[in-house]
């Protein structure tokens, strides 16, 4: 496979950008080899600058649930762009998208649009502290909630990929109120409440951890968090930046029947354009400026291009049996990968919820960050490179999720299973 143009561009990029990229995982450091420079996306495919085509399971790290350049999403963006790319003022589009999101997620009674998932989680935590009038928060080991200083503590995602437990440049005072519990361990949460009585404002959790691979909550874990926060007068925040519209059409909160106080969402609500949101109980959201004293602002919040793309994308998800087809495709892929591995005698753990999945090279099922770290990263690296050579683009890290779009038809899934089978056969 010829990738000479990507090689040349990466050499040039390394003189301009730190590490040659504008987001760390893109550098392929965890999987080796040469990062590909992409020229375009179409449906389930990516095309690199050398003309190679790949079946894409990264999908811009999840938001492209309608696939690349879906005609209806593109049309919505085009129609919005000719009217202006940014207003810095309210638009009817904001109301339309908000109503659509809230229709899917009825636990969100009021909502505020921002520009990224990081902004959403940062703002939700500030709001929780303002509401409860306490300073400390609990996050979970291996869960990533964006790159805000207070959240870069034992985080997953790119931090895990690069082997960084946190980040230089984060002042100690900034993270002193960030407490870390073990994912899927209620005992570790209870211990923190015992140690810091009446000091914890909120728990923030990925209800399905997607930033250390796809890790499911054990039975009773989310229910326990809801019970503990209700008992202790803390805010429960579901970070659904990744799981929203991915593990269930109505989010993880519907899948597991848990009502969080606040919810954060990411780019999936913007058709792949930069957008995020936080929302939840009216009594809490009423503290947000200008209605209340908790300040948060954004010049491009509610951007008409992102709003239009989001409206179009969510409308597509409403089409008859759309979600059922998505989940069937994901289940078909999961079964195919497992079958190929079993036939080849290669121990893997295939985790999946809805349209999110991860292949762990491990003999034991991962349930938290400690067990995730035990997965064989060398084998994953080999798997990634071989799949890439067979025309399948996976997330370049053992600690990331894969995603399905509505454009991943049976033929696309079957082609992927054929590639997996060939990779494992020649392992």
- Catalytically active residues are 144, 239, 267
Element (H, E) at 38: strand 38-42
Number of H helices, E strands in the chain: 15, 14
Sheet holding 178-181: strands in order across? 110-114, 276-280, 262-265, 235-239, 200-205, 136-140, 178-181
The one-character DSSP state at 393 is E
Q: Which residues contact 244 (CB under 8 A, 6 or more apart)?
A: 105, 251, 252, 263, 265, 266, 268, 269
- Tell me if residue 419 falls in helix, strand or coil: helix
- Tell me if residue 195 falls in helix, strand or coil: helix
Element (H, E) at 48: strand 45-48
The answer to whether the beta carbons of residues 217 and 207 sit under 8 Å apart is yes
DSSP string of 295-353, one letter each residue: ----TTTT-HHHHHHHHHHHHHHTSTTHHHHHHHHHHHHHHHHHHHHHHHT---EEEEE
Could you list the beta-strand ranges (E) of 115-230.
136-140, 178-181, 200-205
Q: How many angstroms separate the CA atoms of 413 and 404, rounded?
A: 9
Bridge partners of 351, per DSSP, are: 358
Bridge partners of 217, per DSSP, are: none
Q: How many residues does the chain have?
A: 427
């Amino acid at each position: 496979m010829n990738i000479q143009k990507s090689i040349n561009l990466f050499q040039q990029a390394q003189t301009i950008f730190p590490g040659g990229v504008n987001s760390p995982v893109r550098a392929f450091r965890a999987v080796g080899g040469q990062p590909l420079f992409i020229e375009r996306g179409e449906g389930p495919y990516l095309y690199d600058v050398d003309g190679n085509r790949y079946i894409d399971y990264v999908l811009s790290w999840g938001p492209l649930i309608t696939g690349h350049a879906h005609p209806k999403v593109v049309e919505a963006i085009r129609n919005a762009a000719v009217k202006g790319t940014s207003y810095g003022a309210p638009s009817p589009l904001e109301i339309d998208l908000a109503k659509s999101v809230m229709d899917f997620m009825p636990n969100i009674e009021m909502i505020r649009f921002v520009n990224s998932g990081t902004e959403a989680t940062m703002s939700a935590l500030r709001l929780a502290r303002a509401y409860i009038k306490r300073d400390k928060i609990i996050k979970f080991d291996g869960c990533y909630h964006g790159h805000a200083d207070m959240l870069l503590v034992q985080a997953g995602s790119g931090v895990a990929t690069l082997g960084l437990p946190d980040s230089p440049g984060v002042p100690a005072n900034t993270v002193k109120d960030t407490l870390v519990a073990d994912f899927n361990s209620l005992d570790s949460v209870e211990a923190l409440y015992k140690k810091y009585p009446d000091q914890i404002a909120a728990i923030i959790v990925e209800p399905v951890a997607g930033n250390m691979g796809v890790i499911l909550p054990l039975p009773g874990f989310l229910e326990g968090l809801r019970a503990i926060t209700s008992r202790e007068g803390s805010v429960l925040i579901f970070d659904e930046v990744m799981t929203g519209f991915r593990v269930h059409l109505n989010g993880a909160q519907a899948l597991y029947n848990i009502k969080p106080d606040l919810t954060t969402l990411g780019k999936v609500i913007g058709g792949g354009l930069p957008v995020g949101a936080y929302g939840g109980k009216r009594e809490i959201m009423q503290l947000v400026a200008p209605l209340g004293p908790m300040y948060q602002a954004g010049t491009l919040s509610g951007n008409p291009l992102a709003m239009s793309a989001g409206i179009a994308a969510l409308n597509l998800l409403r089409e008859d049996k759309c979600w059922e087809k998505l989940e069937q495709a994901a289940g078909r892929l999961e079964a195919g990968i497992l079958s190929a591995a079993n036939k080849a005698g290669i121990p893997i753990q295939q985790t999946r919820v809805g349209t999110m999945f991860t292949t762990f090279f491990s003999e034991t099922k991962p349930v938290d960050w400690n067990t995730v770290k035990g997965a064989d990263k060398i084998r994953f690296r080999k798997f990634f490179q071989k799949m890439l050579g067979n025309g399948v683009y996976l997330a370049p890290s053992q600690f990331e999720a894969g995603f399905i779009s509505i454009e991943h038809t049976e033929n696309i899934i079957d082609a992927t299973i054929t590639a997996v089978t060939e990779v494992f056969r020649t392992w």
